[in-house]
Amino acid sequence: MTHELIEAEIIETLPIKRGKQEIVPIQQDDAEDDIKYLSVAELNTLLYISDSSYRLAWLVCYETASRISEALKLTFGDLNLETNRLKVINLKQRKKNSFRLIKISDRLKSLILQEQLSRNATKDGFILKNRDRTTYNYAFIKYATQANIERERAHPHTLRHSRAIHLLDSGANIVLVSNALGHKSIKSTLIYLKYSNQELDKALENANARLYGM
């Protein structure tokens, strides 16, 4: 089965006003030169201090490598209970019926089912609570600040970047990462290679083994 893929796009953000202070979420693009991402330890801290509804949002964005706009469109019916796969619609793809199927963890599956049960939601109900993107942006800034994550990385899109880099660090090849992100061209994915030494380390070890007969 083949699925349509999409290009990297800049996340659109709006200023968030809180009293006299205006907080403008930093825009991030999959193709930018300086990728912002979280370490595994930072991600775990963020998840630990976030309340349950936002923890669910961060996990959905991370495990499916989704933009927040894509995550907000996910319904309970998009989860295949037998395969543990979420159907993520590529919203900005011009072609209709463009999506990717992403396998999620048992932990995330359980949280989604708990959310559905607590709200007595149907399959057509949205997995994430009905909040706009700026609300999620502001919440991310709040929890990132509490986790001592600097402002430039305080944006939900860092979860998408983090997933890509963590996949590479775990040994996934660049083609699989590109598919997970939904990139139309692998060129958009190559930027992540400079943030992961997994492939380089393996190549160096193999070269050394050949040289020294190891």
> What is the pLDDT at residue 206?
75
> What is the pLDDT at residue 20?
40
For residues 57 and 136, is the Cβ–Cβ distance under 8 A? yes
- In angstroms, the CA 56 to CA 23 distance is 23
- In angstroms, the CA 205 to CA 10 distance is 37
> What is the pLDDT at residue 96?
65
The residues spanned by each domain of the chain are 35-212
> What is the pLDDT at residue 13?
31
pTM over 0.85: no
Which fold, 35-212?
Answer: hpI Integrase; Chain A (1.10.443)
> What is the pLDDT at residue 203?
65
> What is the pLDDT at residue 193?
85
> What is the pLDDT at residue 8?
31
* 192 torsion bin: left (phi>0), alpha (psi -120 to 50), beta (else): alpha
Q: Which amino acid, 206?
A: N
For residues 71 and 60, is the Cβ–Cβ distance under 8 A? yes
What residues in the chain have per-residue pLDDT under 50? Answer: 1-27
